[in-house]
Amino acid sequence: MSKKGLIFNIQRFSLHDGPGIRTTIFFKGCPSSCLWCQNPEGLSSSKELFQSNAKCIGCHTCLENCPEGAISFDGPEPVNDRSICKLCMSCADNCPTGALEAIGKEMTIKEITNEVLKDRIIFEESGGGITLSGGEPLQQLDFVIDLLKAMKELNINTAVETSGYVSIEALKKVSTWTDLFLYDLKLLNPEKCKEYTGISSKPVIDNFKYLAQNGSQLVVRMPLIPGINDHHDHLRLMADTLKENGINELELIPYHNIGAHKYRGLNMDYQLQELEPPSKNQMAAVREAFLSEGISTTSEV
Ligand code: SF4
Ligand code: SF4
């Protein structure tokens, strides 16, 4: 049994991660690097230090508690020399305001189960359950399988949100314990997919076909990124791929940038700073384009 998973958030009362009211567990680590990612704290498979300067009161407690001498001040807020920082999290543990925060917590199955069971009655009344998300949860495959098994022993509904960029063997193992896959199809063209997400679309499409043709429950989701995957040829290719595999519904997730501030907190670059979310008219046009190809869409914000 895999003893601990690295988790960056457990979100109770989720309404958009599968049926009913759900608890969503976010796993750290992702093979993709989608330019539009709004959960950048899920990309790295290691713990990270997050810095919110707006919360900093300039008390220098972090400076005093850093055993590596990685923190200095040349203004009101700390500067972390990441080439020295050992991610021990002593600064975050001692920061009185939460301006420094450790992202990623190692958790056992029992610890996660205890969180999940707080909402068991809500799951039963709403038809909900748990959803594993990320990052890419299947990066932590052994732990995920153990967690899904534990949930099934408790008769709790399980959903897995995946990029599909995993081995077919991993997917087969996980599908035994998964009631529903929330499957992301972003860009089907292999070169474009590589350019904007860092991965090839081929295994993603192959795995989608496997799940669709082998009776797995699937909700296919497509983030709609203006100027990147909303052109007509791509919408038609997406519709054809869905129809060829017996799927006639698609969940559209309009691009947003409400997580852009997280890039600053993680000292990362956000390349789509200037990109605006799709307008109502753009969304309507895309929905109409899919409908004309025989695909109905829902839209989650
Ligand atoms: S301990 Fe926290 S609040 Fe104090 S200076 Fe450091 S980051 Fe700012
Ligand atoms: S995580 Fe540890 S090493 Fe890094 S800055 Fe904080 S206290 Fe120093």
- Residue 299 has a pLDDT of 84
CATH classification of the domain holding 13 = 3.20.20.70
Residues of the chain with pLDDT under 70: 1-2, 300-301
Q: Would you state the pLDDT for residue 2?
A: 60
71 and 204 fall within a common domain? no
Q: Are residues 135 and 115 in the same domain?
A: yes
Residue nearest to atom 7 of ligand 2 (CA): 66
Q: Are residues 40 and 76 in the same domain?
A: no
* pLDDT of amino acid 1: 55
Q: What is the pLDDT, as a whole number, of residue 96?
A: 97
| Pair (14, 37) in one structural domain | yes
CATH number at residue 93: 3.30.70.20
- At residue 97, the pLDDT reads 97
Please give the distance, rounded to the nearest whole angstrom, from the Cα atom of residue 138 to the centre of ligand 2.
Answer: 29
**Residue range(s) defining the domain that contains residue 135:** 4-45+104-299
- Whether 95 is in the pocket of ligand 1, judged by its Cβ within 6 Å, is yes
> How much distance in Å is there from the Cα of 186 to the middle of ligand 2?
37
Choosing from 95, 101, 267 the residue with most ligand 1 atoms within 8 A of its CB, the one to mutate for a pocket test is 95
pTM tops 0.85, yes or no: yes
Q: Per the structure, how many domains does the chain have? A: 2
Q: 87 and 16 share a domain?
A: no
**Can you give the pLDDT at residue 45?**
96
The set of residues, in sequence order, having a beta carbon less than 8 Å from that of 59 and lying 6+ positions away, is 96
The protein residue whose alpha carbon is closest to atom 6 in ligand 1 is: 62
Ligand 2 mutation pick, 50, 86, 103, max ligand atoms within 8 A of CB: 86
Domain boundary among 86, 102, 118: 102
CA distances to 209, 236, 247, 250 from 241, in Å: 9, 9, 9, 11
Same domain, residue pair 32 and 64: no
Q: Tell whether 163 and 265 lie within a shared domain.
A: yes
